[in-house]
Every structure is written in C-alpha cells, then in structure tokens.
A and B are shown apart, each in its own frame.
Chain A
Amino acid sequence: MIKTVTHRFGVETAWITEMAGAMGGTVDGNFTLVPEIHTGTRYTLSINEDITVLLADATYHQDILFKLRNTENDFAGIFFNLTEGESVHIIDDISRSVGRWDYNLAIVDSQLDLDYLIKAGSKSYNISIFIKKKMLSVYLERAGILEDVRSRIFDGQQNTIIHYDQMSSNSWHIINEFRQLTPGGVTYDLFLSSTVYYLLSGYLSFLLSREIIIGKIESGDVFRILASQATLVKHLNDAFPGISELAADALMSETKYKTLYKKITGFTPHAFFMQNKLELGKELLACKQYTVAEIAFKLSFTTASHFTELFKNQFGMLPKVYVNSL
C-alpha cells in the first residue's frame, strides 16, 4: 500500500504545518523534518506577502503519492525540478515521468489538482515558488500587456495557467550555485531570496517571449497532452503521425488538441517533433558512426538533402560542418 500525502500549497504559510503533519513530521523554524519519508532538507521561506518558496533537497525512503489539492485559488506554483530517479506525475491511468530529459520546469495554476508519485531511492532537488497571480499581473502590466488580456489570463473561469518546459541553462546555473550553500547559515535566506528573484526574472522574460493562449484546462487534459508528447518522443525515428491520429489518441478534437498542445508546451506538435528529431540527428552525427544519408534514412526524412536543409535552419550549420567541428 503506497503512502499517500494529501496537501495544499500557498503563499500564506498555514499549509506548512499541515503538510508536515500529513508526512508524520514536525516543523522547526524554517525547516520541516520528515525523517520517515526522506532525509535531507525541507525548507520554506516567506519572501514577502506575495511570494513563498519551498526548497526540498531530499532522498526518499519509500514510495509516496502526493496529492496536491489547493484551497486558495489566488496563486501559481513555479516548480524547478532537478530530480534523479523515478518520479511520476499521474492522472487517471496515464503516468508520466518527470525529471529526466524532459520537463524540469512547470508553471501550474493553483486551481489544478496534481498527483505525483515519487519512488523510493529518488533523489530530488526542487525549488517551488508560490506567487500571487495579482503580482504576476503587475509585471505583465509593466511589460505592456493590455488590461483586457491580463484580466482574461488571470480569470479562473476563462483560463488556467499551465506550462511545462525545460529550464534554461541560466536557471540551472543559478540553482546549482545556490545548491552549494549549507542551509541555515546567517546569510542563507538572503541567498535563497536572491535565487528566487533571479529565477522569477528569467521566467518573466521567457513568459513574455511566448504567445499567450487563453483557455480553461482540466487536469486530465494536461496529462493527456503530456502523454501524447511522450509518445512523440518515443517515435522520433518514424514519420510524423499526423494531428488526427494524435488527437484521437488523446481523446480530443483536432482543434482542441492543437490549441492545448501549444498552450502547455509552447510548440505545435509538428514543430516539437521536428526539433527533437533534429536534436537526435545531431547526437547521431556526434557519435560518428553514420553518414548523413544514413541518419536521414534512419530518421525517416524523405531525402538526405531535406535533412541537411532543416538541420542548417535549426543549428545554423550544415551537418558535415558540424561533424568536422567536433
């Protein structure tokens, strides 16, 4: 029987004691001690009235199923995840691993329920930032996003804030630098606050570089899209399966599938597929065992020159030049 922990997050910090209780642990200042579930550090800091951060640097002793059931609807969670080992998001019967090559950054509306399973032996390093939607709205306003658009983004009836991505290398470096510090020193909270603001700054620039798609999403749809994307990644050698097939697999209409796919991942299914195909092509080139023509064939490009052309568009150099540059 897997241990289940049902909990909530929030900018206000009442959840910390509740969650410690649900995990059979105690709270000591900024630290939460949960020796039965994991060793390591669990640290929360209220940075100001709009931002709270949870840092978890943990090695898990047992399988554990977290069920996130927020009660406040006024914030978004921004999750940076450096998990090694198995950790799985699940919904209905669909499982999705987090933390490997794929998404290690998730922005999730507090109105979405989220279940995640962490396997015994997993080592995870997470920075979770909870930020009031009204504060995000202020920053979008300063960036020149019109009132009309902002009110729709933050209207829970019309829109769900949701986005999965890979963190930028910049964010990764910021977290990695912070990770070297020992928790609890005199200056620890200053450096944690610094890290949070740097991450938010990077996130805001990124958010503004994307097309904003308004739409309400249910948890089930989120994970069907993510599962669909995982399927695409497994079949990078094949030709693009086509929207109608993908949509049917995800139990959605084609229009809905395309809209949600773009909203959650930031790409169209085809662009995402091609981009990853080319990344794989690049890896294959790097191991120097295949010719360009062989790789083009392996990855189901119609012709070698088609592969060469797309490769050049994506990476700015011809495959041959790339191989020679190694």
Chain B
Amino acid sequence: MMGSAEEQPVLKISHQMSMDSEWRADFVDQLGARIINSRQMRLPDDMAEGCSYFMEVMPGLMVLIVDFTFHTSIEFTKLASKGEFCIVYFDLSDNISLHQVNGTRHQVGYQSKLGLGIVDAALRSTYIPAVGERMYSFRLLVSKSLLKTYFQENMSALMVDRTFDGRKNTMFFYSHIKSSTWLALNQLKDTSYDSPSFELMLRGVTFKVFGHLIEQMNETGPVIVRQITEVDAAQVMKTQAYLMEQLQENFPGVDLLAEMAGMSVSKYSDIFKKLFKFSPKQFFLREKMLLAQVLLGSGDFGNISEVAYEVGFGKPGYFSKLYKNMFNEFPSTAFRSRE
C-alpha cells in the first residue's frame, strides 16, 4: 500500500532488521525514536503516535508489532539483512473483504489480497505507510534453522538443507490468513500494551499464529526460488495485486501481465509460478472462486446464478462445474439466500 501519489514523503529512513534488538538503533539515530523499555519503542510525537513491540518468544522466533498512526509521510527502506532468517508479515486488512471500494470509474469492486507473506530477510524492501490511519502490522522473525525443524518429517534431510540454505535460495510464501489467526490477531489488536497480561497473551497468540503458519506451509510447501532479484519479485507482485482487483473480470491474459511486469512472457510465467505456486491463470481462477465462496455465504444474492455473474461468468453451469472441481462441493452447499 503506497501513500497517495501527490504526497511525497518528507522523511526517509534506511534500516537493518535483526533477530536481536540492534535494529532499533537505526530508528533512534535517524528518526529520534525513544526506547521505552526493553520491548517498546516510540517515535517523536510530531511524527507518529503508537509504538512498536519486540520480543523473543522462543529461541529462533521473535515477534514484532508495528502499531503507529503517522502524522508525516515517511519512507521506510529495509536494507538487505544479514542473518539466516525470514520475516512473516500479517496484514489484517486481508482476505476477501465485502467492503466495497470505489476502485475504477466503471464499477464498484471487491477488495481481495493475500494478507500473509513471508519474505527472506536477504531482500530489500520499501514501504510508505498512509498518513492519519492506524497501521497495525504483526510480524514474526523466524530463523531458518528453527523453520527447518518443522519440515524434517516431510522432506529428506538433503532437501531440507538445500531448501533453507540462504546462499543458494531465497524463500517466499504467500497465502490468505487463516480465520483463526485473523481472530487471534484482532483480539490482540484491541488489547492495551499496558495491560499486565498483555505479554502472556502475546506469547499465546504468537505460538498459535506460528503453529497455523507451519500447518499452512506444510500443506503446500514453502516456495523456494533460486536467487530471484528483488526488482523482478516486486514487478511480479505488482501484477498479482492487479489480478486481485480484477476478480470480476475475465483473465487479462499473460501477455498483458508480462508487459506490465516489463519482462518476457516465459520469464514472467516462470517467476509467477515460483512465487505463487500456480500459473497466473490458475491463480486468478482460484481467487475468483474464493471470492465466489464468500459471496455465496454472504446472503446478499438471490440465487447462485447471480453470484456466477458477479464474479464474471456468463454461464452459471460452467461456474458450478469449476467450483465443484476446486472445492469438491457444489455452490449450493455454501449458498445462503437473501432474506
């Protein structure tokens, strides 16, 4: 999410990320952040209200909450970090939201995005938070050696070693946030940092969220990409976000997407598939169906055909067939009629 185009960030900060609290020094030096106690950090009052909260939960697993409402526009650049770990981001505005947004001028759309992302700490990234809105980001920093231990049962030792070897590979994983994780994080979001039981609750939430993450990764396997450049990754991510805005339309075609990403069709398709496990078209169809599933259960539609049209199918019968293929049940199972 970027700040609006006309608003140029007045401040820029480049910072490290690390498994210990060293990274905070960059914020203290460059922005004048204050360390409140061993875990909390605040920014100067004119810059932002709120705090960050950083804590070790078990060896190899750190939790970081970034909870600020910014008064000024700041551009944050996370430098490529040394150290064998990855960062898991949870975006609570995730999942298919029925909140309708005025996207393009011709129609009202649905907002859908993958709220869970794992990014290798070796990648550099830039972010400009919106001004005047509460930004709440829950993150895990997980050492690759810890992550490895959870995949040993399903993978050969050689595979595991190769997979988690940071010199050879860069790790990615994107998914929707599980509803139980989402509920736990929302409950946490509403709990005061000053509450005496906050820390215990945060530990409970973190173990739970991490457990769900391991389950999700075990279902599909983490995505490992040999030395992909961050520029290429960012370009392909941009087309993925575009696809998520087009779920009511027809598939725009790989040619167009590759052009958007500024690369050849074969390179584009290759990187997309590595990042998201599916070809662009399969991915698009899956997300369409996930949206349809939410719409079916929403009670906003009079019959199943209306839902099929809503997600851009001309033939409800074809929609039902594809839906059945994907979820192994007919749309009627999920359907709740308008009262």
Q: Which residues of A contact B (CB under 8 A)?
A: 48, 139-140, 142-144, 186-187, 190-191, 193-198, 200-202, 204-205, 208
Contact = CB atoms under 8 A, between A and B. Distances in A.
A194 B208 contact: yes
Contacts of A196: 204
B200 interface: yes
Contacts of A198: 200-201, 204, 208
Given A143-B196, A204-B197, A190 B204 contact: no
B190 interface: no
Given A194-B204, A198-B204, A201-B204, A187 B214 contact: yes
A266 to B, nearest CB: 18
Nearest to B211: A190
A197 B207 contact: yes
Nearest to A192: B207
Contact of B200 (A48, A144, A190, A197): A197
A187 B200 contact: no
A204 B203 CA distance: 14
Contacts of B25: none
Interface in B176-221: 195-197, 199-201, 203-208, 210-211, 214-215, 218
Contacts of A142: 196, 199
B309 interface: no
A208 B210 CA distance: 29
B197 A187 contact: no
Interface centre among B153, B208, B215 (most CB of A within 10 A): B208
B207 A193 contact: yes
Contacts of B58: 48, 193
Nearest to A177: B180
Contacts of A186: 150, 153, 214, 218
Contacts of B195: 205
B196 A197 contact: no
Given A194-B211, A197-B207, A200-B204, 7 more contacts: A143-B196, A144-B196, A193-B207, A194-B207, A198-B208, A205-B195, A205-B196
Nearest to B209: A194
Interface in B96-131: none
Contacts of A204: 196-197, 200
A51 to B, nearest CB: 10
11 contacts: A142-B199, A186-B150, A186-B153, A187-B211, A190-B211, A191-B211, A194-B206, A194-B207, A194-B208, A198-B208, A208-B196
A200 B196 CA distance: 11
A143 B31 CA distance: 31
Contacts of A143: 196
Contact of A190 (B196, B199, B201, B210): B210
A187 B153 CA distance: 12
Contacts of A140: 196
B218 A190 contact: no
A191 B204 contact: no
Contacts of B199: 139, 142
Nearest to A198: B204
Across chains A and B, which 4 residue pairs bring their CB atoms closest together, nearest first? A194-B207, A197-B204, A143-B196, A201-B200
B215 A187 contact: yes
Interface centre among A142, A193, A195, A201 (most CB of B within 10 A): A201
Contacts of A139: 196-197, 199-200
Given A186-B150, A186-B153, A194-B205, A201 B197 contact: yes
A193 B215 CA distance: 16
Interface in B206-265: 206-208, 210-211, 214-215, 218
A326 to B, nearest CB: 25
Contact of A191 (B201, B203, B208): B208
Contact of B201 (A144, A187, A197, A208): A197
A15 to B, nearest CB: 23
A201 B187 CA distance: 13
Nearest to B150: A186
B217 to A, nearest CB: 10
Contacts of B153: 186
A205 B210 contact: no
Nearest to B201: A201
A139 B199 CA distance: 9
Nearest to A181: B211
Nearest to A205: B197
Interface string B39-70: 00000000000000000001000000000000
Contacts of A194: 203-208, 211
Interface in B150-166: 150, 153
Given A143-B196, A202-B197, A187 B150 contact: yes
A31 to B, nearest CB: 17
A196 B203 CA distance: 9
Nearest to A208: B196
A50 to B, nearest CB: 12
A21 B97 CA distance: 56
A202 B198 CA distance: 10
A229 B171 CA distance: 60
A325 B206 CA distance: 41
Given A186-B153, A186-B214, A187-B150, A200 B200 contact: yes
A143 B208 CA distance: 25
Contacts of A205: 195-197
Nearest to B149: A186
Contacts of B204: 194-198, 200-201
B283 to A, nearest CB: 27
B197 A190 contact: no
Contacts of B211: 187, 190-191, 194
A172 to B, nearest CB: 15
Contacts of B208: 190-191, 194, 198
A195 B203 CA distance: 10
A48 B200 CA distance: 13
Contacts of B206: 194
A197 B207 CA distance: 9
